[in-house]
Structure 1
């Protein structure tokens, strides 16, 4: 029987995995520069966490979660998103007691949603996200958005757009909710079954519907911006002011509501405008979630964060033709002829690796010509050739692959020979 990968998942093979490592490392380094520290949470959590944290009226909870019962009869769910687990850890470990507030965290790892697989959308996907918990300062909102944009720009993306909105506070959303119910009630039967169900439970989710996004009722729906009270409007103005101070262009979209119930005040997305990128143009999404910490059992503490898709990030880089500097090649390839030389090669390869060099050798008994071809395929800068003659003289032949120049180097000086060149190249 030939086994195949489950639908909606993917294998990340050598050649591609280096790209993943590179973009994740860039994101980690920038997070460190902004003062964010890594947190790691379990891949599965108690289902109730997502029912309360994400919202039981969301598509994620109603349709997309991978939920199972363990042998103890407990309902567990593979995490569909990262914010609720991070906030759970924040509460459980009483991190709200830390003197360093706000607490600024980042995470990276697989998430799971039962969705229809398509380009840029998988059932197992990887998110990189940040959460800043403990500040209600609009400057914190600007910092989080600036960090997200910085990650994309540092990787070479140019055709991206920051889109923002405000969902306001509880009073603003309540007034907007009533307006939405009045707007959709008379013609709700023209919309899909999901929208009809959401009319009473969560009418804001109607604006996030993918099926009816082009219906005329969506275009004429009341704007949340018209229902912001004075406090919410002032907060949004400060967010926009800070973004302008940072020189970050943005577009306001009053229909940007995001798909999670915990958002309030600032919401945002970063979109790709690269030609041919496809319908999945949203690269990153996030927003403020004041009240979520309290909902999960902690004290009343505000928070804001974002999550970006690594898969969509790589697709956007490809769409813009950005080449990542990931294929470094080997510093040295050791080519051995004969059993005596093979033993010396094993010892030398180990010594060079311990000295910090990227080194490999032949393990399948190739002839010298084939070993040189292998070294070329592996992009080795140098090849050390060892045969009986070299062993007798204790002097290796070192070939620089780019120029073809050959140098004789005593065995005892090979490590210093390569480490010195590596040091000079790194200066």
Structure 2
């Protein structure tokens, strides 16, 4: 089953909690703090793998959670860092954050990695908080929460050559003839509903990958018919073979078909219309003595600098010359430079430190990564830890901002998973 879209939920691991402990040794009655730090939570990483062909596995599993980091121990022992959760995806997978629809990874090379949810950092042990004024801090930080988000994944087929053309012009027949692929061939439109790849082997150990991609109709750029399902898959091809039916058996004009399809390409992407196209004038065996249509197509294309190859997909006539020309173009193709790195790390968009809003029940809700992490990593059961939180609260001038929002004594303040009663 070919699946080219998927939606998954990823959650990185929480950082391990820091330890609050003190040295207890013989003849050392007042040992200092020695609580170790928590370990790093596990990242969620997408890894491109050439041996994976579809996104079908994500139909049955959509939730991916990395493990938390280990807690710190006494004697300044650090908690264990959690291993990254690696998820393999096919080459050509484009990943978007669902909420913003922003592309966060484009995995097109074997082994390429993208960290889509960064693990939380481990909380610091109490030895970090010793000062000249407080030599015995009793508190330690909790681990930082992991990140979580919904992701949308789309697969764009990676092929050297794409077969372009209206339904029933003979694209599937061409692929069956020149490769070991076996797409369905029948006398009705949209026989091919999913991209089918075939390896074309030429003499002297030469080969390239050809894709038979579902046909499109007018309005495809707006999603009509198979629309975007078709257009998305030809974005990464190097060369396009534009197949035209010059027999006229479908009652269509091949030149009108040519112009309509190129108009759809131009509407969808400027990059597509600039791709090199070779014209395969198919079904020449049905022309008999009247080759007027073929002559018309050749003259029309010659005026536009397009190469025309008369072929018959059923008998193989003309295919050798077409494939040799394709091979030459594939070999001399120069990829447009892309700014890609081996490892992509998802970073949330820059936002203000915090935002204050009102909930339906009248509570004041403070959101923002900085303040939410502070609350999540604070141990409110420890008095020293609570005082530290209050100092940071004053430093961030949250009282002032809450008053500007109209807060009164006794009102509820909600941050992360904690609820406070406001006191003047």
TM-score w.r.t. structure 1 length? 0.29
Which has the bigger relative contact order, CA under 8 A and spacing at least 6? 1
TM-score w.r.t. structure 2 length? 0.29
Which has the greater radius of gyration?
2
